[in-house]
A and B are shown apart, each in its own frame.
Chain A
Amino acid sequence: MDTRDVSGFPLTLEGDPTPMVSFRKVTKSYGSLVVLDSLDLDVAEGEMVTVIGPSGSGKTTVLRMLMTLETINGGVIYVDGEPLTHMPEGGRLVRANNRHMRQMRSKIGMCFQHFNLFPHMTALENCMEGPVHVLGLSKQDARERAEELLAMVGMAEKRDQHPSRLSGGQQQRVAIARALAMRPKVMLFDEVTSALDPEVIGEVTTVIRKLVSEHNLTMLMVTHQMGFAKDISDRVCFFYGGRIEEQGTPDELFGNPQKERTQQFLSAVKEAG
């Protein structure tokens, strides 16, 4: 079920405002399992969109496709008006090559459920690696940037520690600083608090709140914390079976869900939590 024909898709997105992220009829399957079915989703610049939904509904897959960790089987993803999964060549869209993807990837940062810090580097080194070796900053500039960000996430004092000496919450905060050090336009958070002990979840959500209030970042976040999602999102998307079953403002979706599946999911979550 490969729908590779992308002749109907524009080479770049025009219009004002252009969405920062745009999924257009994106399909993803593993063998015969269709994980995402013709997904359409736009995220405006500076918008915080939260993705919720049952396990296996394709939430992580959405973020991984955007980070180019997964290829797609159909449709086109645009970031900042330009195609991410494809590139224009001779007046039409063809599959993006590595060079194009590298260039587009620089607009996106991602934080993972299990942090994925480099264990053999200190917190500071983790945050300097990309800026020095990808962005070409001098060691001095990269260090200043990293220290500033580590201070922002409250990890300035631990900057010379290796991840094995840090708690989960601390590691996740370093991971956020590391991603921000690349100055992405879009930040992706995949269940960044799911692997944490309850008492340290607040450390991480506080940092994300700060990002929302102080920076004009576009954010796409998958979470199981409904309260947090309700507080900070501009929009909430409820995923079910690889499609957006329902979306709206937090008040709409949590306060007055229209679809039966949304209602069922929310009441099940409420009972569990």
Chain B
Amino acid sequence: MFDWRWDFTFEILPRLIVATGNTLLAAGLGYAIAVVLGLVLALAQRTPFRPLTMAVREAVEFVRSTPLVLQIFFVFYVGPQFGIRLSPWTAGMIAIGLHYAAYLSEVYRGGLECVPKGQWEAAKSLNLSMPRTYFRVILPQALPPSLAGMGNYLVGIFKDTPMLSVIGVAELMHTANAIGSETYRFLEPFTLVGIIFLCISLPTAAAVRFFEAWVRRKLGLS
């Protein structure tokens, strides 16, 4: 029943490994955008300026309740109608970075809420400036409770990179699909893609847990 061809497998492996590099690059870049932008979105929701907090809140909700693939299409195909012409990579990174920024901002919000009120009051009674209070007192304590959620979304963004194939980013899925169309063999390429994803997702999840414990130790919290 199975017609697995090892020679074909080894023939396509190099191409898939190169594509894995692109997948990792896409996930890494997208995540970097999401980590930074997510923090900006979380902090923006804590400013005393109501219109800003409301607008950001709504934007986050909007992004979270619409599909990622739609957002990717939107940035790539609707952008040009407004004169914004982006390469698949740029459009993809904007869409996926924005999408995950919305999710990460919620993780940060939860982490920030874990910091006891007394920490804010101690910082204020020492007259620390607002930026210093955030960056030296509050955020380091908000980080450990956020790490589990951040780790989940790191794996999540990695698994979502195949969606970038719809606009032609040459990541794993796109490459496997191309190989299939060229050779009419789908079993080997798609199986390999599955294995590659598994081989990266599982250790990443484990590494995140170690990292979390390490950060807690490093900060003297446990």
**Which chain A residues have a beta carbon within 8 Å of chain B's beta carbons?**
67-69, 102, 105-106, 108-110, 112, 114, 116-122, 129-130, 133-134, 162-165, 178-179, 182
Given contacts A116-B122, A130-B128, A182-B126, 13 further A-B contacts (CB under 8 A): A105-B124, A109-B125, A112-B121, A118-B122, A119-B141, A120-B219, A121-B220, A129-B126, A129-B128, A133-B128, A162-B220, A164-B222, A179-B126
Query: Across the interface, which residues of B come within 8 angstroms of A129, CB to CB?
Result: 126, 128, 136
Q: Is B206 an interface position by the 8 A CB rule?
A: no
Query: Across the interface, which residues of B come within 8 angstroms of A69, CB to CB?
Result: 121, 124-125
Q: A116-B118, A116-B122 are in contact. Are A134 and B220 (CB under 8 A)?
A: no
Rounded to whole angstroms, the CA-CA distance of A102 and B123 in the bound complex is 12
Whether B127 and A134, one on each chain, are in contact in the complex, defined by CB atoms closer than 8 angstroms, is: yes
Q: Is B199 an interface position by the 8 A CB rule?
A: no
Rounded to whole angstroms, the CA-CA distance of A112 and B116 in the bound complex is 13
Secondary structure at the A interface, as helix, strand, loop or mixed, is loop
Rounded to whole angstroms, the CA-CA distance of A105 and B141 in the bound complex is 25
Query: Across the interface, which residues of B come within 8 angstroms of A118, CB to CB?
Result: 119, 122, 137
Rounded to whole angstroms, the CA-CA distance of A108 and B222 in the bound complex is 32
Q: What are the 7 closest A-B residue pairs judged by CB atoms, nearest first?
A: A162-B220, A116-B122, A116-B118, A130-B126, A120-B219, A110-B125, A134-B127
Which residue of the partner chain B has the closest CB to A188? Answer: B125
Rounded to whole angstroms, the CA-CA distance of A200 and B129 in the bound complex is 34
Which residue of the partner chain A has the closest CB to B123? Answer: A118
Q: A114-B118, A129-B136 are in contact. Are A120 and B221 (CB under 8 A)?
A: yes
Query: Across the interface, which residues of B come within 8 angstroms of A182, CB to CB?
Result: 126-127
Whether A178 and B126, one on each chain, are in contact in the complex, defined by CB atoms closer than 8 angstroms, is: yes
Whether B118 and A119, one on each chain, are in contact in the complex, defined by CB atoms closer than 8 angstroms, is: no
Q: Is B140 an interface position by the 8 A CB rule?
A: yes
Q: How far is the CB of B20 from chain A (nearest CB, A)?
A: 37
Whether B141 and A108, one on each chain, are in contact in the complex, defined by CB atoms closer than 8 angstroms, is: no
Whether B127 and A122, one on each chain, are in contact in the complex, defined by CB atoms closer than 8 angstroms, is: no
Q: How far is the CB of B146 from chain A (nearest CB, A)?
A: 14
